[in-house]
Structure 1
Amino acid sequence: MALLEVNGLQLSFGGLQVLRDISFSVEKGAIDSLIGPNGAGKTSLFNCLTGFYKPKAGSITLVGEAVAGLPPHRITALGLARTFQNIRLFKEMTVLENAMSGQHCRTHHGIVSAILHLPSQRREEEEIRSVGMRWLDFVGIRDHASRLAGGLSYGDQRRLELARALASKPELVLLDEPAAGLNEREKAELVQLIRRIRDEAGVTVLLIEHDMSLVMQVSEKIVVFDHGVKIADGTPETVRSDRKVIEAYLGTEE
């Protein structure tokens, strides 16, 4: 069953066409990747999927709901979470508070309940804290819960951003270059963590990544972009030998 369906998506800024007639789908329970040279339009596509950009044309369907043009908080509430190419944490908040913030779209009590300390509000607060700790444990940084997020190592900040995304209870998580800045040991651990997200947490994964070794290890399907156009999709073995993909990455002999 397709969890995410993109059909005929187009995006432009002024006279510059960034995405042209993009169509693909992500099946529930999959680990898929988007690849392509720098400037191919991958992050722009993520921004369309998550509501940061409004596409000029085309449709995006998430768990059967049309989401193109909806604001980010509505799309998150429907089950789509993401991490960013450049880490975006609340660095002056604790690690646990950052993880808890991912549940904002799932909370029901407002400021009045908090001021009055209603029992239902206190129960919700404890649940939010419990969920935050569970995801910190899942990604392996539970012991750092009380530290300020800005004091974490770069690799652990990556893990925290992922814990925050998972805390929103997504059906699908988008990972934007999750291996950027990681060493080889951390990349190997990331491969295992991505598989656990799907196998243990039951969350479908779609990632953008430039590390082809990681992509080939973890992906079941790969969609390839070049200059805003989809040029190939299929299994890693199919994509690896595709002539258009080879030309996009290596160029052609004049």
Structure 2
Amino acid sequence: MLLQLEDIVLRFAGNTVLDNVRFGVAEGTVASLIGPNGAGKTSLFNCITGFYRPQQGAITFAGEPLLKRKPHAVTRLGIARTFQNVRLFREMTVLENVMAGQHCRSRAGALSAVLALPGQRSEEAHIRNVCEDCLEFVGIGHEADRTATNLAYGHQRLVEIARALATEPRLLLLDEPAAGLNSTEKAELVTLIQRIRDERGVAVLLIEHDMGLVMEVSQYITVLDHGRVIAEGTAGEVQADPAVIEAYLGQDEEELAL
């Protein structure tokens, strides 16, 4: 497994948020983490990316332990993420926002930047090329010079994905990427996620409430409820699991069958 979680336990003020969570993400796959609100999905992302420190368990990425690493070190190792709410630098252009993602790969120091040394200028050109390529990949290269927060909401989401790709990850974590998108944008998102896997060779793990999108794009699904894994398997296996239907949708099976 590229990413492996073993018996993760996370508690806040005596409340157990994650209870012996165990699952993995294989190289070159798209996997989803689903469950009702409050199930612990985003908390799990925060454990993987170094924002939270679980009290118990182990997380490894490409064989490397993650739990003692800070967020920037996790990013440098090859894990990128987006967030539930769009987080862009308000006064910066689209390209500048994406270039911020390359910071973890840059080597030139402050003195080189101040003196505009040849090495720094060469690195700056490389960063720009990488980020322009990421914008073209997600389909908004033509908006590179616009102020990022002036874009339509769906395109702001794409800026975040481009910025995450600019970190040159092996694993991309997407936290509710379809939230606020219309049906056309969701269809385009499905295609983009598949292209990220197929053309970039990046594994994807997403949290998502849109079950139609999850079932279409995911090769493997893990279901959380009250911090516990209650089911995992292919889309067909999860759709048919009575525990998932009850925990995630109550008595309404129609949404899960989309």
TM-score where L is the length of structure 2: 0.96
- Give 2:37's aligned amino acid: N
Which residue in the other structure is 2:208 paired with?
209
- How far apart are the structure 2 equivalents of 1:10 and 1:234? 22
**Alpha-carbon separation, structure 2, partners of 1:81 and 1:119:** 29
Q: Deviations over 1:55-98 (max 9, x none)?
A: 11000000110001310000000000000000111121000001
Give the counterpart letter for 2:249 in structure 1.
L
Structure 1 CA distance for aligned equivalents of residues 200 and 170 of structure 2: 10
Task: Give yes or no for the alignment of 1:170 onto 2:169.
Answer: yes
Q: How many corresponding residue pairs?
A: 252
1:148-163 correspondence runs (5 A): 148-163=147-162
Secondary structure of 2:33's counterpart equals strand
Q: CA deviation at 1:252?
A: 6.2
Q: 1:55, 1:69 within 8 Å by CA — same for their partners in 2? A: no
Alignment root-mean-square deviation, CA: 1.0
Q: How does 1:126-141 map to 2 (within 5 A)?
A: 126-141=125-140
1:239 maps to what in 2? 238
Q: Which runs of 5+ in 2 are unaligned?
A: 253-258
Give yes or no for the alignment of 1:74 onto 2:73: yes
Distance (Å, rounded) in 2 between the aligned partners of 1:247 and 1:93: 45
2:16 aligned partner = 17
Classify the secondary structure of the residue corresponding to 1:45: helix
The normalised TM-score by structure 1 is 0.98
1:3-82 residue pairs with structure 2 within 5 A?
Answer: 3-82=2-81
Matches of 2:245 and 2:194, distance apart in 1: 27
In the superposition, relative to structure 1, how do residues 229 and 144 fare at CA in structure 2: closer, same or farther (>3 Å)?
same
Gaps in structure 1 of 5+ consecutive residues: none
SS at match of 1:74: helix
Look up the equivalent residue of 1:101 and give its one-letter code. A
**Aligned amino acid, residue 80 of structure 1:** I
Report the secondary structure of 2:200's partner residue.
coil
Matches within 5 A, 1:80-95: 80-95=79-94
**SS of equivalent to 1:55:** coil
Matched, 1:218 2:217: yes
Aligned to 1:146: 145
- Aligned residues: percent identity? 61
Inter-partner Cα distance in structure 1 for 2:95 and 2:236: 41
Q: Is this contact kept in 2: 1:53–1:69, CA < 8 A?
A: no
Letter aligned with residue 128 of structure 2? R
Query: 1:184 is matched with which residue?
Result: 183
Measure, in 2, the Cα distance between the counterparts of 1:251 and 1:203.
Answer: 34
Q: Specify the SS of the correspondent of 1:23.
A: strand
